[in-house]
Amino acid sequence: MYLFGNLIYITILLINAIAILSEDRFLARINLSPSSYDPTFGQSADASVKAKIIEIIASVRTLMRIPLIVINTLIIVYELVLG
């Protein structure tokens, strides 16, 4: 059970790290900015690794914003209460 809890913490920390990446400071500098990527509808299965990374970053930043706030709040309360 201890391993499962650590795995959850690691996953949440990695998702938080992806969610807070700055387009201006980090992503644009290494040419991974979602604004510079223009996906086409019905994109082929042989998309590049760079395109897949951009899609993952954009989707995490878009879809996980509210759930991350709730999850982080629950983890903070859990740590404060049960430490």
Q: What's the pLDDT score for residue 40?
A: 60
Q: In terms of pLDDT, which residue wins out, 2 or 81? A: 81
pLDDT tens-digit series, residues 31-69: 666 555 555 655 555 567 777 777 788 788 888 888 999
Q: Number of folded domains in the chain?
A: 1
Q: Who has greater pLDDT, 50 or 74?
A: 74
Average pLDDT, the chain: 78
DSSP characters over 4-69? HHHHHHHHHHHHHHHHT--IIIIITTTT--GGG--PPTT--TT--HHHHHHHHHHHHHHHSHHHHH
Instruction: Look up the pTM and report it.
Output: 0.67
Domain range for 72 is 2-38+45-82
pLDDT band at 70 (very low <50, low <70, confident <90, very high): very high
